[in-house]
Amino acid sequence: MPEIVSRKILIIGISGGLAQILTRLILQNHPTWTIYGVDSRSTKSVPKLKGLKTVQMRYSRGNFENLFRDNAFDYVYHLARISHSSNIHESLNERFQLSVMGTNRILDLSLRFKIKKVIILSTFHVYGALSDNSIFLPEDSPLKASMKYPELRDVVEMDQICSTWMWKYQNQVSSVILRPCNIIGTQISNTMSNYLLSHLALRPVDYNPVFQFIHEFDMAQVLYRSIEDLPTGIYNVTTDEFVSLRDALDIIGSKGIPFPISMASIFNKILKVTNFNVPEYLIDYLKYSCLLDNSALKKQLGNDFFRFKMEESLKLLKLKS
């Protein structure tokens, strides 16, 4: 029987690859729904799809509020977190405006215009890669990332703002905060995917931390299922699998640059000349493991939810190179 109930969805950050995968997934399953895709970046590269309307818009402008007022959205996806460049001073103000000020505005408008559900994409980086991390970090673990690296302060503050708001208004708006592990895939461009594919990837000889990876399509499925299947709360997103850094690079086929971890920052400065280097905070993730406990997510979605095995996800990433 054809679907007759229509919904309106706002996806903030539509220019990102993950947002576009999610858009296709929603429209395939609900062809009568309408999606408005908004981004402060250009939306010219976003594919034209039936049911999708896109607009380039800064979240601080009055017409962003008009978008809420005129459309009566049912669900809002906040996927507009900026990836951290290696030059933190160049984009620090922009990231603060989007991650902190922009998030406050999105949450305020969602409350004022009675959005049914808000789904927010955070990151496992908020926990920090520290020597005293427990083996698997649950969602109530302290967010320590900003203690050492200022370039992660906006991400941690955004997560904390959303968490406080979620519990404060849980009786008025349903909210989900997702903290995924490393998302990899051919349609997204993030620091970890670029690092794994580079023949200049730093490869520690004296440390071999353990990593978790999730395929971009599995991450999009979690975002999609968040509408109906995840009650208000915070969820770590990862499969049950994990792999050492060396094994991950071997699967990808990246020899990388062997180096002692004490020389990481020096090597990184040299690599800036080649336009490839990793953010300083990521160096600690090449030293200490930061593994997530996914039991809260599995309780809602089941044990066999993910389609892609981790090794398969890593092998598929090679198609991007």
Look at 218 and 84; give whichever has higher pLDDT. Answer: 218
Instruction: Kindly state the average pLDDT of the residues 77-105.
Output: 68
Cα distance between residue 244 and residue 209, in whole Å = 6
Cα distance between residue 317 and residue 311, in whole Å = 10
pLDDT of residue 308: 96
pLDDT of residue 82: 60
User: pLDDT at residue 86 above 50?
Assistant: no
pLDDT of residue 272: 62
Look at 228 and 279; give whichever has higher pLDDT. Answer: 228
β-sheet bridge partners, residue 258: 203
* CA-closest candidate to residue 176, choices 296, 35, 262, 291: 296
pLDDT of residue 2: 54
Lookup: tokens for 69: 């007022």
What are phi and psi for residue 266, nearest 5 degrees? -65, -45
Instruction: Kindly state the average pLDDT of the residues 30-51.
Output: 95
Residue 85's pLDDT band, with cuts at 50, 70 and 90, is very low
Domain assignment present for 275? no
Domain assignment present for 315? no
Who contacts 180 (Cβ-Cβ below 8 Å, separation ≥6)? Answer: 121, 123, 124, 214, 219, 222, 236, 237, 238
pLDDT of residue 88: 44
Helix axes 310-317, 245-252, angle to 10 degrees: 50
* CA-closest candidate to residue 232, choices 286, 304, 283, 300: 300
Residue 203's pLDDT band, with cuts at 50, 70 and 90, is confident
What are phi and psi for residue 221, nearest 5 degrees? -65, -40
Domain assignment present for 157? yes
Least confident of 80-84, 113-117, 197-201, 287-291: 80-84
* CA-closest candidate to residue 217, choices 186, 245, 248: 186
Q: Indicate the number of domains in the chain.
A: 1
Identity at 74, one-letter amino acid code: D
Q: Which helix (H) or strand (E) holds 299?
A: helix 295-301
Cα distance between residue 68 and residue 76, in whole Å = 10
Domain assignment present for 145? yes
User: pLDDT at residue 271 above 70?
Assistant: no
Look at 274 and 253; give whichever has higher pLDDT. Answer: 253
Range of the domain at 45: 8-181+212-239+291-306
Q: What percentage of residues in the chain have a pLDDT greater than 70?
A: 88
Handedness of CA 142, 143, 145, 150 (dihedral sign): negative
Look at 86 and 160; give whichever has higher pLDDT. Answer: 160
Domain assignment present for 282? no
Domain assignment present for 76? yes
pLDDT, one tens digit per residue, over 224-270 is 999 999 999 999 999 999 999 999 999 998 877 888 887 776 766 66
Cα distance between residue 72 and residue 39, in whole Å = 19
pLDDT, one tens digit per residue, over 108-142 is 999 999 999 999 999 999 999 988 888 899 999 99
Cα distance between residue 71 and residue 34, in whole Å = 10
Global pTM value: 0.93
Per-chain mean pLDDT for the chain? 89
Domain assignment present for 261? no
Handedness of CA 21, 23, 25, 31 (dihedral sign): negative
Domain assignment present for 19? yes
pLDDT of residue 89: 46
pLDDT of residue 275: 55
CATH value at residue 118: 3.40.50.720
User: pLDDT at residue 321 above 50?
Assistant: yes
User: pLDDT at residue 45 above 50?
Assistant: yes
Q: Tokens 């990332």, residue?
A: 145
pLDDT of residue 87: 45
